[in-house]
Chain A
Amino acid sequence: MAEPLFRTVDVKDRHGRVTGTKEVALYKGLLAKAHEEGLSVIRTDAIQFATDENGRTAVSKACITTSKGTFEAIGDASPENVPPHILPHLNRMAETRAKARALRDAVNIGVVSFEELDGTTEPAAISDLGSGALPGNGAAGPPKVTSPPTNGPPAKNGGDYQPPMTENQRRYLFRILAGYGIEGDAAHQYLKDKLGVATLTGVSKLEATKLIDRLLMKLPLEAGRGADQHQ
């Protein structure tokens, strides 16, 4: 029997009230359609595992090859964009999201997939979250769907919402820079210059994570200040 490609899910506000419905693509359906179109390769690479140092943000890249060509996509998962029951499985969720996005490109489906949503939804009968997801999950939990949290900055480039840099990330960046001897206003200016922003308010969590990683890679071990406290 052919796998369904789409399903309708309830969209709820933060109080749990249903405010509408939304059609989403399903991983199983995307995968089946990709097979129909000559799927030959699915490769995933973990770009970043979720750790305390990076704000528990996992990032994966997926590469899908069908008869139409090769398609790549990135997927991320962090405590801000997954429902609570997925929290122990951030690495696998990032992988599933990357695959789902690459599959959508490969089979030319513009509708966002269920697996890419930033929370659970409220389907009547939930689909499998895909090979990278927690077995048997998805049936419970309140929806958050597509709306960014109210405290987030506007989406950049009209694209996916990026959660903002956390307070702990900001503090960690300043502590790392202190290890370089860059302190106070000089550190503040350094960060604004490196991140290309007028104020640190608009920096995303992912951008902060990348900068932390870059700074730590250059830093002598003994100068890594205040690790494990910047999620």
Chain B
Amino acid sequence: MSDDRFHACLPITLKQECPHPEDWNNPRNFSNDAHDPGGKTMCGIIQREYDIYRKHKGLPARDVRQLTRDEGEEIYDNSYWLPECPKLPPGLDLQFFDEAVNAGPHAATKILQQALEIEADGTWGPSTSLAVRGIFNPTRVVNLYTVKREAYYRSLSGYRYFGKDWIRRAQEIGAEALKMVGP
């Protein structure tokens, strides 16, 4: 696992993904929401993602309800935390991670670039790295990330159906991120 920051941020994002983030085996962390036609999800991990993970490990596919904590943490770490989150200051790493989990790393990067007020192409390159190293007011960037994240959601056709949850999530994560920035 990457680092302490990952373990600080993961439970906060997991709270958005499942009702009992402290107990990976709790059956209430399983959902098969009809609004998610992909169906089966355990602790935020969908069956397809679990299948790919198991295949990559040379293991037979199995129901996502059998997801273990170690497997789940490895998926979150490798697929969403790495490689970018360790480069970000505390707070912003949580926001980036949470958006990567929710909307994918490309969207998370694009929103970060908007918050850094650089060209937003969704690809992490030298200009993004440079802008991240140059952050001198993390509170401002965290607040901007929340604003840009909300704007991104509002731009989507699905906003009318999912918008309330998307905005709540962006605001809750933004508030958690501000606590991490410190004085």
Q: Do A and B come from one complex?
A: no
Residues of A within 8 A of B (CB): none
